[in-house]
Amino acid sequence: MGSSYYLPAVIAPAVSSDTGWPLAWVVGGLSLGLLTAGLISPRVGSSIERHGGRNVLAFSAGCIGLGQIGLALAPNLAAYIAAWLVIGLGMGAGLYDAAFATLGRHYGQGAGSAITMLTLFGGLASTICWPISALLLGEVGWRGTCLVYAAVQLVIALPLYLVILPREAPKPPVGPGLPVGPGLPVAPGLKEATPAREGNPDLSIMIVLAATLTLAAVISSTLSVHLLTILQGSGMALAAAVGLGVLVGPSQVAARAIEMMIARYHHPIFTKFASVTFVAIGVSTLWAGMPIIPLALGFYGAGIGLESIARGTLPLALFGSNGYAKLMGRLAMPSLIAQAAAPSAGALLLERFGPHGTLAALSGLALANVILACGLGWRMLRRRQSQVQTR
């Protein structure tokens, strides 16, 4: 993620200044890449379900590396955009959803702890790669930075995927619907949400789950691009905005570390509840203009940190490990497409309504997501009661 998703945040101004290409198009390369990732995600999930994630993740490293070489050598804007489309193929095959699908395929119902561990380290991507990218930018320029990251992908990541990840026996295609298995362990005394019957998944739960994951992606993608602008719009100096903005990353990691310690004691639906509630508190506090911005950003960071975990563990708990990789591919599609569109939509909101109006809109989405998560929990409870009555 640090060398693809987070790369334009550092190099985009330098690319535009050096080449004269419009900054909107330079940043828009990432959006087109995410759109590509979203379009291929169902195919990626199906491939991981059938054959495991070894070759898919290796393909991801290869595409990202070749795309970064394309960025470094791009003589014009069209070639630059084309390189981002190649990187998009790599992101679709190698970001969180594909990695979660790979872990689910390999570990089955026990993948929850591995998913949590992955997100713990993934939360450091921007914290580590932004300073590295800035250092490289000053030393070798934006083209050299892309070449360095290309070497990391092709010389380090790709061989590691091929050497470390095991070859897995192919599975037969999943039949109509998604076969499911038992839910994840829950705390003593808590009722487990029993998955839908095999071959007959609960479509309403899948739709609500996809909706809440997509809304969360819209909020986090918008703020990842526009948070500093919003903070400065409230009268804050750039240095102060940057100093506060960096609180988001450590908050993500701290929340994920706590979740890793306590995850065995509760069902992932509670992780989801905590996530959407924290995000709503953080964004709404910023919108209300309360003089507790560090606390608001801490809540927001913790919320999006937990969201990444719930994104992987909740579908596994609801629908089991059979067909999990294929399901993750389907769920990733609307989220990635929304992430591609969210920064542009956020820019339009800022232009038309200003920082306060933009925060108001994001607060409304965050509160709507709380309602969706509650609806998901209610639907799970109703399904559980229905299954108990039919036994």
Closest CA to 296 of 307, 284, 308: 284
Q: Is 52 helix (H, G, I), strand (E, B) or coil?
A: coil
Q: Are 349 and 358 in contact (CB under 8 A)?
A: yes
Q: Are 324 and 316 in contact (CB under 8 A)?
A: yes
Closest CA to 10 of 27, 24, 25, 22: 27
Q: Are 316 and 111 in contact (CB under 8 A)?
A: yes
- In the chain, the percentage of residues whose pLDDT exceeds 90 is 37
274-287: pLDDT as tens digits: 999 999 999 999 99
Distance from C-alpha of 43 to C-alpha of 31, rounded to nearest angstrom = 20
Q: What is the pTM of this model?
A: 0.77
Mean of pLDDT over the chain: 84
Length reported for the chain:
391
DSSP secondary structure of 325-341: HHHHHHHHHHHHHHHHH
DSSP secondary structure letter of residue 184: P
Most confident listed range (105-109, 287-291, 352-356): 352-356
Distances (CA, A) of 263 to 237, 309, 321: 39, 10, 18
Is 188's pLDDT higher than 50? no
331-381: pLDDT as tens digits: 989 998 998 888 888 888 888 898 899 999 999 999 999 999 999 988 888
Distance from C-alpha of 340 to C-alpha of 214, rounded to nearest angstrom = 11
11-54: pLDDT as tens digits: 888 898 899 998 888 888 888 999 999 999 999 988 998 888 88
Is 172's pLDDT higher than 70? no
Q: Which residues contact 82 (CB under 8 A, 6 or more apart)?
A: 70
Helix (H) or strand (E) holding 143: helix 125-151
The structure tokens 């102060």 sit at 240
The structure tokens 């801490």 sit at 298
Q: Are 217 and 279 in contact (CB under 8 A)?
A: no
Distance from C-alpha of 300 to C-alpha of 247, rounded to nearest angstrom = 10
The structure tokens 């608001």 sit at 296
The structure tokens 């992908």 sit at 153
Q: Which band of pLDDT confidence, cut at 50, 70 and 90, is reported for residue 125?
A: low
Residue 99's pLDDT is: 87
Closest CA to 142 of 15, 26, 27: 15
Q: What are phi and psi of 167, to 5 degrees?
A: -75, 135
- Name the residue with higher pLDDT: 221 or 85: 85
Beta-carbon-side half-sphere exposure of residue 114 (alpha carbons within 13 Å): 15
Beta-carbon-side half-sphere exposure of residue 260 (alpha carbons within 13 Å): 17
